[in-house]
Structure 1
Amino acid sequence: MSRFFSAWHRNLRILLIPEKLSHVLTVALPNAPAASATTEEKTAYQQKADEYSLIQSGMLYAMEPDLQKRFESMPTNEIIADLQTVFAPQARAEAYEASEAFFTAKMEEHSSLSEHVVKMSGCVQRLEALDLKIPPTLAVDRVL
């Protein structure tokens, strides 16, 4: 499950970065301007509020119904923080298991080289899915 959160979160950031909206995931919407604020300030705030609302709706749309209900009244930054709190320990344990499998894997004597390469490639892909990048030279060295 944590792998799915990592992928979902990465995809969400990929969508928001070009639009310069990734801050919505980490920064709370500021308070509304006072009634005495200028029209420009009120318009700027409304534009920000609309951005936050659109992104929150997109986040909720991509969730299971139970999570939608849980998070529908929360701001985007709190949704992300809560999900990270839930999934971070699981992701850490999964990352440990994946890295242990990668670094302890050995080719059995008289076994197929191609099977070993496929197994090691799967380990690298699993690590990358967990946002743990293995440099290509290290991956090749471990396979050999």
Structure 2
Amino acid sequence: MNPFSTILEKNTLTGPNFIDWLRNLRIVLNSEKIGYILETLVPNPLPEGATELQQTTFRKWEEDDMQTRCYMLASMNNELQRQYEKMGTAKDILLHLQELYGEQSRIARYEISKELFRTRLTEEADVSVHVLKIINMIERLENLDFSMDANLQTDLILQSLPDSFA
């Protein structure tokens, strides 16, 4: 067994953890040099009289897609496995999962960012606790694939302070 596959064993897809699961899946697929399966379009069926190179390329894609599907299914909980085991390609599975769980991530990003942009330090509150709270929200957003550069992070912290800190 590939040592990277233990990553997927420890990060079984349950639904709400879709973003983390996908990140770990990509690590494993890239280590196997088949990560392209999730990024490329499904090839068209081969035409009559396809060249040997076309046939070889198509068979390679089919094998890599099957291996990708196996990694995906093996790293899902039993309920999700049953739902996806008959689905055609790895790309089909991924697109369906993104429809289901990507929206939950979008809602979570919205709620966290709303809280982040509205957070203000009160005069009597502890500054270090306040800054740690903001850093925690920024890290939670990064876990949902929403990154901010360091300058914006600093600006958000400074803007959350009362005018007495000017």
Tell me which interval the TM-score lies in, with the shorter structure as reference length. 0.7 to 0.9
Q: Distance in 2 between matches of 1:2 and 1:123?
A: 22
Q: Distance in 1 between matches of 2:154 and 2:16?
A: 24
Q: 1:133 and 1:86, CA in 2 relative to 1: closer, same or farther beyond 3 A?
A: same
Q: Does residue 137 of structure 1 match 2:151? A: yes
Q: How many residues align?
A: 143
Root mean square deviation of aligned Cα: 2.4
State which of 106, 123, 126 in structure 2 corresponds to 1:112: 126
Q: 1:2 and 1:100, CA in 2 relative to 1: closer, same or farther beyond 3 A?
A: farther
- Residue 130 of structure 1 deviates from its aligned partner by 1.0
Contact 1:6 1:130 (C-alpha < 8 Å) held by counterparts = yes
- Residue 89 of structure 1 deviates from its aligned partner by 2.2
SS at match of 2:17: helix
Q: Distance in 2 between matches of 1:39 and 1:24?
A: 21
Could you say which residue in structure 2 is the equivalent of 1:59?
A: 72
SS at match of 2:123: coil
Where in structure 1 are there 5+ consecutive unaligned residues? none
Between 1 and 2, higher relative CO (CA 8 Å, sep ≥ 6) is seen in 1
Runs of 4+ in 1 over 6 A off after TM superposition: none
Where in structure 2 are there 5+ consecutive unaligned residues? 1-13, 159-166
Alignment of structure 1 residues 33-112 onto 2, 5 Å: 37=50, 39-74=52-87, 75-112=89-126
TM-score by length of structure 1 reads 0.84
Q: Does residue 13 of structure 1 match 2:26? A: yes
Q: Distance in 2 between matches of 1:23 and 1:30?
A: 16
What's the % identity of the aligned pairs?
31
- Residue 121 of structure 1 deviates from its aligned partner by 0.7
